Structure 1
Amino acid sequence: MDYFEDIAVGKKSSFGHYEVTREEVIDFASKYDPQPFHLDDDAAAQTHFGRLSASGWHTCAMTMAMLVENMKEHKQAGLGSPGVDNLRWIKPVYPGDTLRVESEVLEKRRSQSRPEMGIFKSRATVFNQHDEPVMSMVSNGLIAVRDPDAPIES
C-alpha cells in the first residue's frame, strides 16, 4: 500500500487507456450536458467542433476512471479529494479517440489539523492517440499517513 510517505515530489507517471465511443458520448451528454454538438451530427457540423464531440465533463469522467484504476493498481491509500484547480479543455475529444494520462506530483504536505492524512497536488494531462493534449488539471489528493504519530515536519 502506498501512503503519504511514499509520494515523491517530481514523480511522473503515464497510465490509462480509454476508448471513446459514440454511444457513450451521446449517452453521457443526454444525461448531463445535452447541448446539440454533443448529441447530433448535423448540429455539431455547424459548430467549431465540426463533428460530434464529447462533453468536457465527460472527458473529466473518463479521466477519473483512469485515475482510479491507476490508484487501485498501485494500492494507494487515497482518501478522496478536496477539489481540482486549473481545469482546461484544450482540444475536443471525439468518438474514436483513445485517451491516456500523464501525471506529475507537484507538492505535498502533512495536514496540520488532521495528522493522519497528507495532501498532495499533481498535474494531470490527458492525451489522445495522436499525443495531443486534450485536457489538463491540477488535482488535490488526500492520502493516509503511514504513521500518524510521527512528528509533522515543517
Structure 2
Amino acid sequence: MYDEPITCWEDLAIGQVYEYGAVSISESEIIEFAKAYDPMPFHICPEKAKQSPFGQLIASGLHTLSINQRMSFDHVFSQWAVIAGKEISHCQFLAPVFADDVLSAQLTITDLKTLGNNARGSVYFSIVTKNQLNQPVLSIRCEMILACKSRV
C-alpha cells in the first residue's frame, strides 16, 4: 500500500512535534469556498463584511479547518501509515482568518495506545494553526489510527 518509507505507529513518540505550513489564503479562495459550503454574507461579500464585527471578509472556519487538513496531509499524514482518522474534538476557531493571511501549524503528539492485536495503534495529537503574526486561529485535538510495522 505504501511506496516510500513510512512512519508506523511505533515510530512515534509522545511529545513529538511537527511544524509546517506557510499557506496563503486569497480573497477569491475565501469567497469560492464559502459560496460552495458556508455562504454567510461576511464570507462571500466584501461590502457586507465591512458591516460585520470583523470589518472585512473572513474565511469560514470550515475553510480554515480544510486548509489545516491539507497542510497536515502534505507535511505529516502522507508520511504516516494511516489506516483512518477517528476523531476531531475540541475544535476551536480562535481568531478570524483574513484574505492574504499566511497559515502555519504545529502538531504535537499527546498520547499513543495500541489497539487489538498490536497490528495498529491510535495516535492522539493536537494541532494549533497560526497566522503570520503568530496568533492562533484554530486549535483541534485528534485521534488517528496507524498501522504497526507488522502490518505494513
In the alignment, what sits opposite 2:3? none
| Residues 49, 88 of structure 1: alpha-carbon distance in 2 compared, 3 angstrom cutoff | same
Alpha-carbon contact 2:18-2:76 (below 8 Å) kept: no
Structure-2 separation of matches of 1:88 and 1:72? 21
One-letter code of the match for 1:2? T
In the alignment, what sits opposite 2:121? 118
Runs (4 or more) in structure 1 with deviation over 6 Å come to: none
Query: What CA deviation, in whole Å up to 9, does each residue of 1:44-87 have, x standing for no partner?
Result: 111111100000000000000100001266x2111221120100
Task: Check if 1:13 corresponds to 2:21.
Answer: no
Quote the offset at 1:147 in angstroms.
2.1
Structure-1 separation of matches of 2:150 and 2:9? 9
Structure-2 separation of matches of 1:17 and 1:116? 35
Task: Check if 1:142 corresponds to 2:145.
Answer: yes
One-letter code of the match for 2:115? S
Number of paired residues?
A: 146
Task: Check if 1:27 corresponds to 2:32.
Answer: yes
CA RMSD of aligned residues (A): 1.3
One-letter code of the match for 2:85? S
Task: Check if 1:103 corresponds to 2:85.
Answer: no
Fraction of identical pairs, as percent: 26
One-letter code of the match for 1:107? D
Aligned-partner SS, 1:138: strand
Match of 1:41 among 37, 43, 46: 46
Structure-1 separation of matches of 2:46 and 2:21? 28
Quote the offset at 1:94 in angstroms.
0.5
TM-score by length of 2: 0.92
Structure-2 separation of matches of 1:123 and 1:43? 34
One-letter code of the match for 1:122? F
One-letter code of the match for 2:142? S
Task: Check if 1:3 corresponds to 2:19.
Answer: no
In the alignment, what sits opposite 2:94? 90
Structure-2 separation of matches of 1:139 and 1:17? 21
Task: Check if 1:66 corresponds to 2:71.
Answer: yes
One-letter code of the match for 1:86? H
Quote the offset at 1:99 in angstroms.
0.2
In the alignment, what sits opposite 1:56? 61
Alpha-carbon contact 2:9-2:148 (below 8 Å) kept: yes
Q: Which 5+ residue runs of structure 2 have no aligned equivalent?
A: 1-5
TM-score by length of 1: 0.90
One-letter code of the match for 2:94? I
